[in-house]
Every structure is written in C-alpha cells, then in structure tokens.
C-alpha cells in the first residue's frame, strides 16, 4: 500500500544533483511497518524497521513527523557514505511481539491504535525537498 505522506529532507538535500543518487541508493521501494498508538493524549507513530518514533496531537501529525525523521535519518546515512543495508535497526523482538498482541486487542476494545504496512517509493522521501 502506498502512502501520501512525504518526508522533508534537510535543506542540504535540495540540490537535484544530490537527490538522484540518493533515490538510487535507496534501491527501490521501502516496505515499512508503522504502528500508531494514542497514549496520554498524544499520538505516536513507530517505524518498526528503523526504530524511529514520531509524535503529534493527531495521528496524521505523528505520521508526518515520523516520515520527516525517517527521511533525515536516511539522508544522514547516505551523506556519510554508508550502505543502505547499514541503516536498518529494527525494534527489539520483545516490543515487536507486544505490538502484535496489543494491536488486535485495542481494535476489539475500540481503543486508538493500529499497525499498517506501507510500500513507500523513494521519491516520497525527497518530494518536499525539490
């Protein structure tokens, strides 16, 4: 499933000459699993493959922030000359299991929280930087 969320890359990424190699470095679509949850009046969005969390007053704000943070994180690794394979740092298995158990229970109890998969094209991560 593609998402309309777009991540803002740092201003240093606004050069078109730098964007094309970055998109190639990403090597295709990113498959992301993002868990969202409302807790203590705030929304949290967690990218499980990269252990990056965004937060906001609304679920949409939390998702927007997590995509911004992901874009900046990946851009930093790219500019540092690291391989894309070095960027992934998945959440601990204990947290992953906790999310898998809690998400369906929260849905049954009509509480705020869910987990979705996103297939994100590389252009989404630099769409706002152009």
Residue 5 phi/psi, 5-degree rounding, is -65, 140
CA dist 129 and 124 (Å) reads: 10
DSSP 30: E
- Round the average pLDDT of the chain to a whole number and report it: 76
Which CATH number does the domain 11-126 belong to among 3.60.70.12, 1.10.3470.10, 3.40.50.2000, 3.30.160.250?
3.30.160.250
Give residue-wise pLDDT tens across range 5-33.
Answer: 445 455 555 555 667 888 888 877 888 88
What pLDDT does 5 receive?
47
CA 66 centroid distance within chain: 5
- Report the interhelical angle of 59-79 vs 16-26 (nearest 10°): 100
Query: 40: helix, coil or strand?
Result: coil
pTM listed for this prediction? 0.72
* Domain range annotation of the chain: 11-126
């Amino acid at each position: 499933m593609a998402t309309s969320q777009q991540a803002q890359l740092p201003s240093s990424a606004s050069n078109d000459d730098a964007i094309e190699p970055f998109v190639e470095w990403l090597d295709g679509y990113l498959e992301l699993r993002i868990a969202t949850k409302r807790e203590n009046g705030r929304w949290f969005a967690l990218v499980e493959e990269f252990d990056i969390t965004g937060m906001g007053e609304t679920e949409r704000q939390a998702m927007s922030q997590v995509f911004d943070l992901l874009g900046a994180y990946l851009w930093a690794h790219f500019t540092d000359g690291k391989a894309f394979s070095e960027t992934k740092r998945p959440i601990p298995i204990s947290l992953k299991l906790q999310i898998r158990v809690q998400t369906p229970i929260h849905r049954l109890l009509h509480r705020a929280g869910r987990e979705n998969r996103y297939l994100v094209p590389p252009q989404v991560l630099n769409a706002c930087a152009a």
